[in-house]
Structure 1
Amino acid sequence: MSTTENAIASAEAHSAHNYHPLPVVVATADGAWMTDVEGRRYLDMLAGYSALNFGHGNRRLIDAARAQLERVTLTSRAFHHDRFADFCTRLAELCGMEMVLPMNTGAEAVETAVKTARKWGYRVKGVPDGMAKIIVAADNFHGRTTTVISFSTDPEARADFGPYTPGFEIVPYGDLTAMRAAMTENTVAVLIEPIQGEAGVLVPPPGYLAGVRELTRERGVLFIADEIQSGLGRTGKTFACEHEGVVPDMYLLGKALGGGVVPVSAVVSSAAVLGVYRPGEHGSTFGGNPLACAVALEVIAMLNTGEYQQRAAELGDHLHHELGLLAGGGSVQAVRGRGLWAGVDIEPELGTGREISEKLMERRVLVKDTHGSTIRIAPPLVIGKEDLDWGLEQLREVLRG
């Protein structure tokens, strides 16, 4: 057996089968490229679901992590540390907000948002205890905890994990009329993705986000934007909500906030919302640790230049132009997305999304499938135009058969 085959066989034997990865074993990576254990190079067109917006091994981020590793990595929130205040201040400024509650993973940020919205509803809005409702969208993906999958409509994510957590109303994505009808005096929040990533990079109808903002403000309901995948440069702006000039009541951030180095997530909101917490009511051993703060501070500094957002916008225009040409050629049914992020629906007779991903892997391009014959394209924002064009050419060759 080859080194790759041995590694895959060992993983299959000794790890739970909760993932079905492509048969490639990565050993090193740099920028937009990854190299496997056999020395083969692959173009990364997934970027860790946006966790690697700034590429593999970004020197600024590695240097920030290395410097912090030599100082202190963890204190727990039992004590202050010298990176925490700067992190909270700078992230709040980036978001145009006032307060930050740091966690580790995106799912933790979503769980924190659910708890925050409910507590705000009881303490500020005056909802009767135990009656708070949160409106979510069908086909959402907000994580895989038991609470989060309770309001998923994806059978794979939900089946056999009940009993489920109550308190959520599911409405069709993009449908303001349905959202308005679902609202009651006990509704405390609307939780949506500005672009639904796992569902196939679904962009809502024009005016939808602005409509959600208007409706939630009118009804005294929090607008929670899950920007864990869509935020921090991916769509050509710092936040996907900016494309409609919308500022929600709460941002949920993760993935790219850790720069592909460490897991970092955060809930960012106003003092009126996050101020509902008292010591001991919520927390995390690793949330806001010194190493995470040091890396995230560098991410924030990089975003403050605007260069990554501009790059995503410019290369994103090119990406969608090229994919649009494929959509007119009979091999692609539809293309959706914004910035350096696209969902591509392949004609089913050409193969499933998994099969197309495997064929692209054979041509040294790595993407990820989602439902049916859809693949997602989301390269690191540092990808070169020549590399992007090369990757797109491999897609064309695969679709030609």
Structure 2
Amino acid sequence: MDKAMAHGKSDNQIIQSKRNISRFFVEQRHISWVMLIAVCVWGFYSYRSMPQRKDPDTPVKSAVAITVWPGAKGEKVEQLITRKVEEKIAQNARVEKIRSISRTNVSVVYVDLDENMPGSQVGKELDDIALKLGTVTGLPEGAGPVNFIKDFGDTAALMLTVASPKISETAIALRAKSVSDAITRHRAQYETTSGGTRFTMVIGLTQAVNPRIVQEPLNLFVDYLRDKQAATDVHVIVEPDFVGVDGVSYASDEALLGYTRQFINDRLQASDFHPDSWQPVVIRDPNETRSKLASVAGDKYSYREMDDFTDLIEKTLKSVPQASKVSRSGILPEKVFLLYSQERVASYGLKTSDLSNILGARNITLAGGQLEAAGKNLSIDPSGEFKSEKEIGDVAVSQTNLGAPVYLRDLV
């Protein structure tokens, strides 16, 4: 017997007695269409009103503290630097995890904040950690400062690359004429010798230098060539726009340049070379000067000029309301090297340590306070801050037996 008939109901009766959502929307098509249109309109409105950003704000809850201690072993770095940094970081209650790496010359401490902390408080807590690290005391001599990096979540929306073009053909031609005339003039003063072909090793300069500064390294290079038996009848040439060495040699241009590179790596320091100087080149025939200089031509703008250009660009971009942060990278830090003669320092009754004390007392950068006079407050602005390297050389460090002042530039 049929199952439906066993219950006393037909198939149609059973179907009509069941509640079915699908059947309801199929039978009530007008309701289905109205609800479908309503859902589409609501979805389109939600999509249009949804906040959109190309660089969504996703705060990174991690940071790193890096401290450099040149020449120190990993064990010393761990004991005297890493532990002190970790103690300061642990004073913040929202720090969840601290990891550290202590290696030779450097200490690296990683910080992880509480993952459940709201994103709006991340910056505040990281700033609190940075302030605590600023109060770290008792670091060893030569260590620090603590560099706290917390900007991992920054997104670069625009990157500008500024590069200097090579010096123009006109400038190369003018310099080649000057170098060629100088080589011809100096060679006319030398006696004709046998034993090879006369050459001139030329290093271009972007600005005039004091001859006393470059004379000593060039003299060392002359002695080096003689010791290696690479050249004879060697003379030093110092001109406003280049320095060089002239001599006679059987060696090829590549061999002479190899001796030059080896001498630079073995005998000289970073202070002996200006970063804007050109690569050395060997000139045998003065008529080939232009082509030789063109092969090693330097940049049109110096590092200082590039620093000024990018500084102006940075200040201009910071004035744009949409720019939240502007930073520069790849800038060559400016350094001033003091090259002095030990004999001259001792002849004036000075010690090497006296020079740093004298310069520190002269280079005043702090405010001088205020002076109240006749009911007015007058600001005192000390004028001892150095503005250029020339002012450093003009500092009086001692005096002669006759009372004449001795300047720092006299110790070179």
What TM bracket, shorter-length normalisation?
under 0.3
Q: Which structure's CA Rg is the greater one?
A: 2
Q: TM-score, normalised by structure 1?
A: 0.24
Q: TM-score, normalised by structure 2?
A: 0.24
Higher relative CO (Cα under 8 Å, sequence separation at least 6) belongs to 1
